[in-house]
Chain A
């Protein structure tokens, strides 16, 4: 079974440009999450999809960030226009709908974004 995959793994863009990160969750996982870790700090929650619906987007920092999940499959996170403080590692994670033993979240390897 393939894990959570993210693309691109690394991206360096200039301030004001646009970047779109993509996440393919584990097949069959209805829950999809985006998290961000900045400069070795906490893994900060951004938002949560259940299938194609946004369950909780309370962690999205501002309207420069737009997340979508087309057809309840893969998800994209677009940052437009990017600012210097957006630099960090963006993790996508997924889990099954029923929770089960702790609702284990499986993380992707992350997309490392550097805004210069």
Chain B
């Protein structure tokens, strides 16, 4: 089967750094993406890793270790507007994408 595990909730304060982990078990894996979803909105793409290492996009960075079947999303300089659900998603052959259950991030003042 295919599955992704991520924490259900994370709470942090404004200005802090938070890391959301994701472990996956996916056959035919070729990459890991992260999506953000605000309440009532559509999931939006944040980042993608196909190779091991860190990808940085502004305040957000994403990391992948294929040997460990593990990745994380790093959010720096947290802002209140970052409060949302964050989903990791694994991509497999045939362009199929499977999502994790999502991590609810609460940013406090």
Given the known interface contacts A102-B33, A102-B50, A102-B91, the answer about A91 and B43 at a Cβ–Cβ threshold of 8 Å is yes
| A48: interface (CB < 8 Å) | yes
Residues of B within 8 A of A25 (CB): none
What is the number of contacts between chain A and chain B, taking CB atoms within 8 Å?
64
Seen from chain B, the residues whose Cβ lies within 8 Å of a Cβ on chain A are 31, 33, 35, 41-45, 48-50, 85, 87, 89, 91, 94-102
Residues A109 and B43 in contact in the complex (CB < 8 Å), given A33-B97, A48-B95: no
Partner of B102, one of A42, A99, A106: A42
CB < 8 Å: which of B42, B45, B50, B101 contacts A42?
B101
Q: How many angstroms between the C-alpha atoms of A107 and B42 in the bound complex?
A: 6
Once A91-B43, A110-B42 are accepted as A-B contacts, the answer to whether A45 and B98 lie under 8 Å apart by CB is yes
**Which residues of chain B are within 8 angstroms of A102 by Cβ–Cβ distance?**
31, 33, 45, 48-50, 91
Known contacts A95-B95, A101-B48, A105-B97; A43 and B87 CB within 8 A of each other? yes
A4 to chain B, nearest CB (A): 8
Q: How far is the CA of A102 from the CA of B35 in the complex (A)?
A: 12
